[in-house]
A and B are shown apart, each in its own frame.
Chain A
Amino acid sequence: MKIKKLFSQKVTRLVTVNKKITYAQAINQGMHQAMQLSSNVMVMGQLIDYSSGVFGTTVGLVDKFGKNRVRDFPVAESLMTSAGIGAAIAGQRVILVHIRLDFMMYSLDAVVNWLSLWRFKSNKESNIPLVIRAIIGKGWGQGPQHSKSLHSWFAHLPGLKVAIPATAFDAKGLLLESVFSEGPSIIIEHRALFGLKDQVPLEPYRVRYGKAIIRRKGRDVTLVSLGYLLVEALKAANTLEKKYGISVEVVDLRTLTPLDRDTINNSVKKTGRLVVVDPAWHSFGAASEIITSIIEKNLKHIKSKPARITLPDSHTPMSKNLEKSYYFGDKKIVSKILKIIKV
């Protein structure tokens, strides 16, 4: 495979060096760099070649890499995912942009019956280097068909890697890692995060799968967070420390599969308490899996019963006021942890 020298071209046209950039811009930068690093990288998605560029994440790609490699696709999500699989079999590295995860559900057959088991059924001989960027809305009345974070569905399937980056740094690093690794990946992108800013290194770097990160060290309770809830978790930890003297260790999972159980385990051994915040429905979700697998190994270290803080087992309401009671933020995390510590 031909690897092009990255800095020979104007990769920086859309981003400024040494300046904070947003989560969306970080993804955009990752996309540009991936396409520049290898001529085998291609992108498929609806409306990816218009100036708005899928919330800014695909801006400039078509001008630089052309319509062959940057393909606006018909409203045929099912075919798009299958086509991505087929192109990857023939040697392409494919990034699929599913502008809304809800629409992507048309491609469940492709994901469940083909993509996830392709390597398995070929006995490791045929791999599919395909990345699905699945974008999820929140708020402003997105309602039940524009807001579902189905990361635990995908994580339940063997044969798929699932990332759920919370920061601009991770969004770029995980995208590049996914594009240049062998297995299929789904990156869950919460649109609420697209405006968050961070210092993002200009060079092409990687964030590995299965490596959680401790965002804040603490002694009294381990708080595991997924996706956009990291911001709320850190805020809650701050309040608990300042107001109540409770020291919270915040673990940002970054990827759901492979799941970094070691980092959580080590943290729980120290704190004796485990709380998981998951931006998804309550039952049968990621939070349940994390708690179960940690308790199974670590019961003797547990000082109080674990907790999961999640959305209700309900579809998302449209109405502004109901959205407020449906979603939660730092306050709910604080009150839940206070209850646990009292117990």
Chain B
Amino acid sequence: MINHKNILRTGKYKNFSLKNINKKLAIKLYSFMLRLRLCEEALAEEYHPADEMRCPVHFCSGQEAVPASLNYILEKKDYVFSHHRSHGYYLAKNAPMKKLFAEIYGKATGANSGMAGSQDISYPKNNFFSGAILAGASSIALGTAIALKMKYKNKQVVVTGFGEAATDEGIFWESLNYAALKRLPIIFVCENNNYSVFSPQSKRQSGKSISEKAKVFGVKSKAIFGNDVCLVYRELKNAITNIRKKKGPFLLETFTFRYSGHVGPLSDDLVGYRSNKEISFWKKNCPIILLEEVLIKKRYLNKKEILKIKEKINSEIKSSFDYAKKSEFPSIKSWNDLNLSNKTPLADKILKDLKKVNFDEDQKIVQPKGY
């Protein structure tokens, strides 16, 4: 059985395979992961002491494999609902990096004009949404899957990405139950990084693993080593293809690790909640390094080509910073309109205003009997 305790005993990962992954795809997966990693590292680097990014940022360095895979599996019409560690999923849905940066800087040109920040960012145009309250986004994703199933011919799927701590919440299991009951087109992707802030899964959850529990609810599932991006890709591809063929929901549990602290650019390892053994195991099994080693060995890429990829990414990062820093701060025309739409175009079209308003005041409220 795969769990965080057992994984540490396995040493350096040896099962890496490019099965069903051609050269082009392998390089794409690598480039996406590298782009995400460099993006996170650059943001973390710039965060202090400049202090121009003034929102909680949950960096996802170390957890690149799922977003990279989704980027090449999903179509624009598909929906993604992400947890607060959102940057990977945001980029996976091809939302622009510069608008991510501008959002974190609180600028008018940000993905949400500075209303949301990192942990609540969305890009509705590409069907990408996120939020910080655990499992909330997953339960909303469930509702989107209900709607998509009603129009099944579109073959759209919903992906909800969450951490293992989201499964502490009751509503997560309500969602699994209903997804199985109605065979909804939804994939639950649990990035199990073992920690809710500092608290390990073993301190919070009893019984079997999340993927085993899912089976009890009637949701097919699998648990895998989450830093092997090719394995993650194959499993996600397979599950999502099946979901498009109306085969019902799926839960994939990927065991992984975040290198950063829970929130912010600084390490929180001084708290002492993670052992050195654990940290060094996961550093050794970095998803990017694991793939890079194979790419070099197979001669799909050489060091020079890797440098070239990095240069391209770094220039995108630089221009994203420029864009964010040069953009204006937002201004509010109407707080009211920002929160609630005063326009009712559809009602205007189909409903009548009536002049006469009826009420017969000459009657008595009769108490209903019984319950």
Contact = CB atoms under 8 A, between A and B. Distances in A.
A140 B367 CA distance: 7
Contacts of B125: 125
Nearest to A252: B359
Interface stretch (A198-206, A268-276, A290-298, A307-315): A198-206
Interface string A118-139: 0111111111000000000111
Given A119-B340, A177-B351, A85 B365 contact: no
Nearest to B122: A122
A68 B353 CA distance: 31
B343 A114 contact: no
B361 interface: yes
B116 interface: yes
Interface in A182-204: 182-183, 191-201, 203-204
A98 interface: no
A192 B369 CA distance: 10
B307 interface: no
Contact of B146 (A86, A137, A195, A258): A86
A343 interface: no
B112 A82 contact: no
Contact of A114 (B136, B350, B353, B365): B136
B364 interface: yes
B344 interface: yes
Contacts of A234: 361
A146 to B, nearest CB: 8
A80 B266 CA distance: 39
Interface in A152-200: 158-161, 166-170, 173, 176-177, 180-183, 191-200
Given A79-B142, A82-B139, A183-B341, A196 B365 contact: yes
Interface in B203-217: none
Contact of B340 (A42, A92, A159): A159
Interface in B318-371: 335, 337-341, 343-347, 349-354, 357-361, 363-371
B62 interface: no
Given A114-B136, A195-B366, A206 B174 contact: no
A191 B365 contact: no
A203 B355 CA distance: 13
Contacts of A79: 139, 142, 171, 174-175, 178
Nearest to B150: A68
Contacts of A281: none
B170 interface: yes
Contacts of B8: none
A91 interface: yes
A3 B115 contact: no
Nearest to A237: B361
Contacts of B339: 116-117, 119-120, 158-159
A301 interface: no
A74 B177 contact: yes
Contacts of B124: 122, 125-126
Nearest to B156: A90
A92 B150 contact: yes
B136 A121 contact: no
A113 interface: yes
A139 B344 contact: no
B71 to A, nearest CB: 21
Contacts of B136: 82, 109-110, 113-114
A89 B143 contact: yes
Interface string B102-141: 0000000000110110001010110001010100100111
B359 A198 contact: yes
A74 B345 CA distance: 34
A86 B141 contact: yes
A76 interface: yes
Contacts of A74: 174, 177-178, 181
A3 B341 contact: no
B122 A176 contact: no
A199 B147 CA distance: 36
B353 A87 contact: no
Contacts of A166: 359
A73 B144 CA distance: 15
Contact of A82 (B113, B142, B361, B366): B142
B195 interface: no
Contacts of B112: 121-123, 125
Contacts of B353: 205-206, 208
Interface string B139-173: 11111111110100000000000000000001100
Interface string A83-99: 11111111110000000
B257 interface: no
Given A114-B136, A194-B368, A198-B359, A124 B174 contact: no
A231 interface: yes
A82 B137 CA distance: 8
A86 B131 contact: no
A203 B352 contact: yes
A340 interface: no
B113 A140 contact: no
Contacts of B146: 71, 83, 86-87
Given A3-B350, A90-B144, A180-B346, 19 more contacts: A3-B349, A42-B150, A68-B150, A69-B150, A79-B171, A86-B147, A116-B339, A121-B115, A123-B115, A126-B124, A169-B359, A177-B351, A180-B347, A193-B365, A194-B368, A196-B363, A204-B350, A206-B351, A228-B365
5 contacts: A74-B177, A78-B174, A79-B174, A110-B140, A121-B120
Shortest Cβ-Cβ A-B pairs, 5 listed: A86-B143, A83-B143, A82-B139, A90-B147, A206-B351
